[in-house]
Amino acid sequence: MTLDLARLRGSIPALLTPFRDGKVDVKTFETFVDWQIAEGSHGVVPCGTTGESPTLGDDEFAVVVGAAVKTAKGRVPVIAGTGSNSTSHAIELTQLAQKLGADAALVVTPYYNKPTQDGLYLHYRAIAEATRLPIIIYNIPGRSVVDMTPETMARLAKISNIVGVKDATANMARVTKQRLSCGAKFVQLSGEDGTALGFNAQGGVGCISVTANVAPRLCAAFQDACTKGDFAAAREMNERLMPLHEALFCETSPVPVKYAASLLGKSSETCRLPLAPLGETSKARVRAAMTQVGLLN
């Protein structure tokens, strides 16, 4: 584990995956990653849920993570989404990400299986023992059904390369509870753009963000203000961004954010089935929010 954990902070977009003719559009993706870094993003997450990871084959996973590493060139950390509800598959993906040069792995709680807290502990311990990459737990009960408790997280925090959490519970009390149970050095990243301000105020250090896909400069400035303790400026930017945060979840993510990115010419709006194209009413809402924030004329 060679990554300086202080670099796991700020605005970290959960990158969308552009498609063209049914395949990963690698050139567009590389251009998109470079733009994200140029706009001030502090890290990138390829192959997360926003990147439609459930629909990517292992060969496509390798292409996307490899392209992110190649484009980032060490300028920001590349945190590969390597989670699966199969422990053996999660290990394979994490080892592949390590081989491809990723800096860390984001591992979602196993969905559908509904493991107990002991099952969660054993799942993450097995992955951690199989890699030298720093591992960030991704706790998102709304998608995976299971919720890792602060007590289980504290057990896992004792494993040297389990270094933090992406918390998408939207439960603000969790930040303090996890800080007390896991220690102040345990990296806490919000997984909810709309609650990132309160999350940071209680000890969080950043956000793995959907909105940063289309508003990277503003999201980075917001996170920088939080890091400096300038919560008055952060609050002002948060209020500006809130209509966009909400619009990008008017239908199942990443459908709205891919449409928003298409308005900027950064990606096609195409998502893979079973995600349906964005409805016309939702398109109007996303476009209006983009205009209100100042991303469109």
Q: What is the CATH code for 5-228?
A: 3.20.20.70
1: pLDDT confidence band, cut at 50, 70 and 90?
Answer: low
What are the tens digits of pLDDT across the range 104-130?
Answer: 999 999 999 999 999 999 999 999 999
Q: Which parts of the chain fold into alpha helices (H)? A: 26-38, 58-72, 87-100, 117-129, 141-144, 150-157, 173-182, 196-201, 216-228, 231-247, 255-263, 280-293
pLDDT at site 91: 98
Task: Specify whether 121 is catalytic.
Answer: no
Average pLDDT of 162-185?
Answer: 97
**Mean pLDDT for the chain overall:** 97
pTM over 0.85: yes
pLDDT at site 297: 85
Q: What are 242-245's contacts with CB under 8 Å, separation 24+?
A: 242/194, 243/289, 243/292, 243/293, 244/211, 244/214, 244/215, 244/289, 244/290, 244/292, 244/293, 244/295, 245/193, 245/194, 245/211
Question: Which of 121, 124, 138, 259 is the catalytic position?
Answer: 138
Dihedral, CA of residue 28, residue 250, residue 108 and residue 271, to nearest 10: -40
Task: Specify whether 158 is catalytic.
Answer: no
Question: Which of 111, 124, 158, 166 is the catalytic position?
Answer: 166
What are the tens digits of pLDDT across the range 34-55?
Answer: 999 999 999 999 999 999 999 9
What share of the chain in percent tops pLDDT 90?
99
What are the tens digits of pLDDT across the range 70-94?
Answer: 999 999 999 999 999 999 999 999 9
Q: Judge whether residue 238 has pLDDT over 70.
A: yes
- List the structure tokens of 252: 């199942």
Q: Judge whether residue 18 has pLDDT over 90.
A: yes
Average pLDDT of 275-289?
Answer: 98
